Structure 1
Amino acid sequence: MESSTSRTRLNCISLADPDTQRSVALLKQACLDSGFFYVLDHGISQEFMDEVFAESKKFFELPNSEKMKLLRNEKNRGYTPMLDEILDPENQVNGDYKEGYYIGVEVPTDDPQSNRPFYGPNQWPSEEVLPKWREVMEQYHREALRVAKSVARIIALALNLDADFFDRPEMLGDSIATLRLLHYEGQVSNPSKGVYGAGAHSDYGLITLLATDDVVGLQICKDRNAQPQVWEYVAPVKGGFIVNLGDMLERWSNSLFRSTLHRVVLDGRERYSIAFFVEPSHDCVVECLPTCKSETNPPKFPPITCSAYLSQRYKDTHADLSTYGNGKA
């Protein structure tokens, strides 16, 4: 049983606000309540955001044969076809009705670091097919990481940590930051029959920055244990990001901050969005923070490295690559 009728109200954090304490208070309230909030005044121009969306659309409009040449490899780079992911296997009859494209931190093959999970060279469409595409996406990756680090500073203060806690070399200074372009075809979702644009899930990492077009589709469930579950729409925000906390931050905060269930429900309109997933370095140990545990609130999660945690989560989410026939790796 579930219901979804209303739009939720989210706090807005302006990165240009000189009153840091106000930003910290607004963010902390959002993290305790839903784990979702808006970020405005982030310094990425609307013109450039429009260009990123336009270039994303150009890729998804390519013939399927061209897109499949760039099929997601073992490093989770490249194209993910329709139904590739199944985010809510208990309730979905098929996979997600979306296609995507993963772009991570560019590490050349001759760099020893490229052997690590989630590191390595990206897959790129050819310049002949999509001129400027790589240049635009790499610039966006840099800009989004800058914004994410600014948000992480406010999160650190909200957890009573030093502002640069997450910006140290062993954390976001050497991060596994992944850009994901997403395209939802003009399907109509039917939750009662297990058909979704994206099934209900929480994100894996630290934080996610989401930019969307003006088509409503994202829903959140603030209490996953409620019966019935109540799903609320999150309105798109022009020129801003919808930011949500991931499971890693919930672990770090000893469940003080929320990593909230969310999904995408389609109304028949085509929809584009751009997600930027931010995780710390491979060897970073995620363990309950001293400021979030006590004798009455002992650690709820065992320590785990970021790399081990992410590897397992991706394995559980994606279809086997061999199902696409070409075994491209």
Structure 2
Amino acid sequence: MSVQVDTYKSTLNTSNNQIPIIDIGDLLDGKKEAIKDVSIQLKDACNETGFFFIINHNIDQNIIDSSFEHSEKYFSLPMHEKMKVRQNRHQCGYMPPDVAVHNDTFENRETALNTQRSEAFKFSFDLDSDDPDFGKNVRFRGFNKWPDPKVSPGLHKSFMDFHMAFQNLSVSLLEPLAVSLDMPSDYFNRFFARSSSMTRIAYYPAIDVKHDQISLPGHRDSSFLSLIPPASGPGLEIMMKDGQWIQQPVVENAVLVNTGTVLVRWANERYQATPHRVRANSAEARYSNIFFLYPDVSLLLECLPTCFSETNPKKYKPFTFGEFHAGYCERNFGYAENWD
């Protein structure tokens, strides 16, 4: 897959040095000193931008390329075929255009309601029969909806290969993240042992662009972390601390990572979740595959003891991700609340 960025016309700031680049090669090689080194860089990145690139991540490019190939094939199917696996209340399946509400956006209401041209296909883990949640109707656990393999041969394996590769990559960041927050390095591990992570395969068709039109309104992710390999084309914009939007720079062979509101709440706003959006493009369709690292749906997430004090009291009550995410889905994807 070749990422083309020179066709995108924009007056936005595109300086590469505004998004930090973190080399995690030594971390993945198991070098002990790397946890501390990466934690220092993560602390700076999560404080300043909420976005950073990781390089030397060891994900096979063939896995990424395959997922994009199957994405393009899937979204080219007739609408009636895609709707056979329409998105359910667990956020799994196909999301058609013009249905999401995005009540959590900070764009004005008119912008948010007139920018829903994108389509998406979402999935999580396929539960094995020996999983404690198998067959127990636990929300967000084990409710994937897959297209007929005769219609989309190879899609299931390709997408799950992508999902597992990015799950493994994302959890490798847990230890340095914990250290960056002055916690024991293994603190987060148990909360992600039975993760409910999700992948969103997205399609933004080329459209007749109106002035300043947005394909996905400005928002913050409801994840712990979000990981994004290079998309098939430009469009992602990131709001910096000064309120200015920048076009996402492209770093060769890097994965873009951003912090989500789960981490923000857990860390009592010690870190930030940075707003971002996708701008409409008339030149070409855009495909983007995004991995969202989610914790166990049932474990209680309480403010980290290193993140509050008498002068900085807790800003959020303890919560489970299941409850938190259910509220997020109801506000932004209410159309699917009654879909099986």
TM-score of the pair, normalised by structure 2 = 0.86
2:167 is aligned, of 138, 145, 158, to: 145
Deviates most, 231-240 or 251-260: 231-240
Paired position in structure 1 for 2:6: none
Paired position in structure 1 for 2:13: 6
Task: Summarize deviations over 1:13-63 as a string: whole Å, max 9, x none.
Answer: 222035523322221111001110011211111122111111111111111
Task: From the superposition, tell whether residues 70 and 51 of structure 1 become closer, same or farther in structure 2 (CA, over 3 Å).
Answer: same
Query: Distance in 2 between the 1:190 and 1:263 partners?
Result: 16
Q: How does 1:220-299 map to 2 (within 5 A)?
A: 220-223=238-241, 229-268=243-282, 269-299=284-314
SS at match of 1:148: helix
Residues 196, 265 of structure 1: 8 Å contact kept = yes
Task: From the superposition, tell whether residues 12 and 316 of structure 1 become closer, same or farther in structure 2 (CA, over 3 Å).
Answer: same
Query: Distance in 2 between the 1:100 and 1:92 partners?
Result: 17
SS at match of 2:289: strand
Task: From the superposition, tell whether residues 4 and 29 of structure 1 become closer, same or farther in structure 2 (CA, over 3 Å).
Answer: farther
Query: Distance in 2 between the 1:234 and 1:285 partners?
Result: 34
2:317 is aligned, of 286, 297, 302, to: 302
Task: Summarize deviations over 1:206-258 as a string: whole Å, max 9, x none.
Answer: 111112325221111134xx6xx421111233432110001010011111101
Can you give the 5+ residue segments of structure 1 that lack an aligned partner in the other structure? none
Query: Distance in 2 between the 1:167 and 1:96 partners?
Result: 36
Paired position in structure 2 for 1:184: 204
Identity %: 29
Paired position in structure 1 for 2:156: 134
Paired position in structure 2 for 1:121: 143
Shift of 1:286: 2.2
1:158 is aligned, of 177, 180, 189, to: 180
SS at match of 2:229: strand
Deviates most, 132-141 or 4-13: 4-13
**Matched residue pairs, number?**
315
Task: From the superposition, tell whether residues 197 and 115 of structure 1 become closer, same or farther in structure 2 (CA, over 3 Å).
Answer: same
Shift of 1:79: 0.2
Shift of 1:284: 2.0
Query: Distance in 2 between the 1:189 and 1:261 partners?
Result: 22
2:25 is aligned, of 3, 16, 41, to: 16
User: What is the identity, as a one-letter code, of the residue corresponding to 1:54?
Assistant: E
User: What is the identity, as a one-letter code, of the residue corresponding to 2:251?
Assistant: V
Shift of 1:176: 0.8
Can you give the 5+ residue segments of structure 2 that lack an aligned partner in the other structure? 1-9
Deviates most, 242-251 or 120-129: 120-129
Deviates most, 120-129 or 233-242: 233-242
1:86 is aligned, of 81, 84, 101, to: 101
Residues 148, 209 of structure 1: 8 Å contact kept = yes
Shift of 1:133: 1.1
User: What is the identity, as a one-letter code, of the residue corresponding to 1:176?
Assistant: S
Paired position in structure 2 for 1:52: 67
User: What is the identity, as a one-letter code, of the residue corresponding to 1:179?
Assistant: T
Query: Distance in 1 between the 2:192 and 2:131 partners?
Result: 20
User: What is the identity, as a one-letter code, of the residue corresponding to 1:56?
Assistant: S
Query: Distance in 2 between the 1:328 and 1:311 partners?
Result: 14
Deviates most, 304-313 or 150-159: 150-159
Residues 221, 230 of structure 1: 8 Å contact kept = yes
Residues 63, 161 of structure 2: 8 Å contact kept = no
Paired position in structure 2 for 1:209: 227
Task: From the superposition, tell whether residues 112 and 175 of structure 1 become closer, same or farther in structure 2 (CA, over 3 Å).
Answer: closer
SS at match of 1:69: helix
User: What is the identity, as a one-letter code, of the residue corresponding to 1:153?
Assistant: E
TM-score of the pair, normalised by structure 1 = 0.89
Residues 189, 265 of structure 1: 8 Å contact kept = no
Residues 77, 104 of structure 1: 8 Å contact kept = yes
1:104 is aligned, of 110, 124, 133, to: 124
Shift of 1:266: 2.1
Task: From the superposition, tell whether residues 157 and 191 of structure 1 become closer, same or farther in structure 2 (CA, over 3 Å).
Answer: farther
Query: Distance in 2 between the 1:110 and 1:200 partners?
Result: 40
Deviates most, 61-70 or 180-189: 180-189
User: What is the identity, as a one-letter code, of the residue corresponding to 1:250?
Assistant: V
Shift of 1:72: 0.5
